Each structure stands twice: as structure tokens, then as C-alpha cells.
Chains A and B, each alone.
Chain A
């Protein structure tokens, strides 16, 4: 049943991308100042949105684990955070490359890049903590607490850094289309977001199954020692 679901998601994701990519590259015109390179935004922004969706899923599952004690919640939380971190990395790297072209520098302490870096560090810390704790239940408990803390912090971090940057102006990377983009140019961002979310769902399902297998191995090993 799960394999069928994964295949279905893969087909849907691939179909969406297959439709969007020709649109992104051929139908849309070049941007006035940046030429072709602005098209990175169609992967840069959906990656960020996907990352936050994954982190939010991790939050819900962490709360779920702490309230019910069901270990499956922990598996999903861990899987979701890892996938979210992968997409956050995509966001950071594509933003960096875009910035290199747009302003000639690889990194800038622009509000959004800085916030994303802090988020990345928060959740990298989560994964690091998971790796350091060996006992499964304790690992699940501690990770759940960190995940809840981290998401609360993510919200505060984004707002604070935005205020910091308005007081200390830096070059602003116009990430979201918002007011700046023409009508037809916004849609691919959301379609790509959907495609990425489907892709992340696949990765989460696979990864979650791996966490469950690991738990099964742990319990089997304990059973073996008891024999």
C-alpha cells in the first residue's frame, strides 16, 4: 500500500514539474534587469516554503508524540526535519548563487538569508542531538522538546531579523514576487511549491519507514539479548 502511495506521489510530482519547467524556461520572458538568472526564484522560493512546511509537520508530530507517546510520531518528526533541512540547504545555496550574480558576492547578511541560516542551524542542532542520544525513548522525548522550541524560535527569529535589517539596511534580495512580479509570473512558484511538497512527502515516507525499521532492530536486539 505504501509503495503505491509513494509511486502516486512521485508521478504527481514529476507531472507537475514536467508542466512547469517548460513554462519557466520557455514561455516566461526575461526579466528587465537580471535577464535569465531570476528563474532560480522558481526553485529558491518553493524550497523555502517546503522547508517550513516540513518543519511545521515536525512540530505537530512532536506535540503528538509528547501527548500520546506513540513512537510513530517521533519517526515522522525526525524524517520531516531532515527533509526540511535538505530543502533549506537548497534554498541557501540557490540564494547564494543568485546573489553572486546579482551583487557579485556569495553571501550577504540580508534579512531572509540570515534568518534561514539561523533556522538551518537550529534544525541541524536537532539532528545532531538525535545522533548523540542512544536510548530511543529518551531520544524521542528530547527531540520533541527541541523541535517545539525550535519552531517557536523560528517565528521570533524571522520577525526580529526583519526589524534588525530595517534598522541596519542591507541589500534586499527580492525573494517573493509580491508586488514586484507580473501576474503570470507568480503561478509557477506555487505550482513548484506543490511539486516540492509532494517530493518531500515521498522522502518523509521513506525516511519514516527507515526510522521504524531502526526501532524494530533495536527491539529485536534487546529480545535477542534476553534469550
Chain B
């Protein structure tokens, strides 16, 4: 059997799962960014409400 056969299969499957993995990583990164943003805005609101009273 042609030994390149297995190499290509390996790279092909690696590529497939790598792409999905990278996408999951970008989702996770976005989650972190959104969480910090949310915390920041909530803090800003609390400060403004506190300063109004």
C-alpha cells in the first residue's frame, strides 16, 4: 500500500478537527471578552446609580 495514503488521511482528518477546534477556541475567546465587557458595563451602571443617590 502506498505509504502516502495514510499520511494524507491523517492530515485530512487533522485538518477537519483542527478547524472545528479553532472555531471552538474563537467562541471561547469571545465568551471571555463578552463577560469582561458585561462586567464593565454593569459596574459602570452601579457607579452611576450610586453617584446619583
On A, residues with C-beta under 8 Å from B are 30, 34-37, 39-40, 43-44, 47, 83, 86-87, 89-90, 93-94, 97-98, 100-101, 199, 203, 206-207, 210, 213-214, 216-217, 220-221, 223-224, 227
Interface of A is mostly: helix
Partner of A86 from B12, B13, B19, B38 at Cβ < 8 Å? B19
Is A98 a contact partner of B23 (Cβ separation < 8 A)?
Answer: no
Q: Which of B6-32 contact A (CB under 8 A)?
A: 6, 8-9, 11-13, 15-16, 19-20, 23-24, 27, 30-31
Is B16 a contact partner of A36 (Cβ separation < 8 A)?
Answer: no
Which residue of chain A lies nearest to B49 when distances are taken between CB atoms in the complex?
A227
Which residue of chain A lies nearest to B13 when distances are taken between CB atoms in the complex?
A43
A199 to B44, CA, bound (A): 37
Is A224 a contact partner of B23 (Cβ separation < 8 A)?
Answer: no
Asked if A86 meets B23 with Cβ closer than 8 Å, knowing A101-B5, A227-B48, the reply is yes
A94 to B11, CA, bound (A): 9
Which residue of chain A lies nearest to B23 when distances are taken between CB atoms in the complex?
A86
Asked if A97 meets B8 with Cβ closer than 8 Å, knowing A90-B19, A90-B20, the reply is yes
Partner of A93 from B5, B16, B45 at Cβ < 8 Å? B16
Is A224 a contact partner of B45 (Cβ separation < 8 A)?
Answer: yes
Which residue of chain A lies nearest to B24 when distances are taken between CB atoms in the complex?
A203
Interface size grouping (class) on chain B: 20 to 34
- Kindly list 13 other residue pairs between chains A and B, CB separation below 8 angstroms, not including A97-B8, A97-B12, A98-B8: A34-B5, A39-B9, A40-B13, A87-B20, A90-B19, A94-B13, A94-B15, A94-B16, A98-B12, A100-B8, A206-B27, A217-B41, A224-B48
Chain B residues in 8 Å Cβ range of A37:
5-6, 8-9, 12
Chain A residues in 8 Å Cβ range of B15:
90, 93-94, 97
Chain A residues in 8 Å Cβ range of B27:
203, 206-207, 210
Which residue of chain B lies nearest to A216 when distances are taken between CB atoms in the complex?
B38
Which residue of chain B lies nearest to A34 when distances are taken between CB atoms in the complex?
B5
Chain B residues in 8 Å Cβ range of A30:
1
Is A35 a contact partner of B13 (Cβ separation < 8 A)?
Answer: no
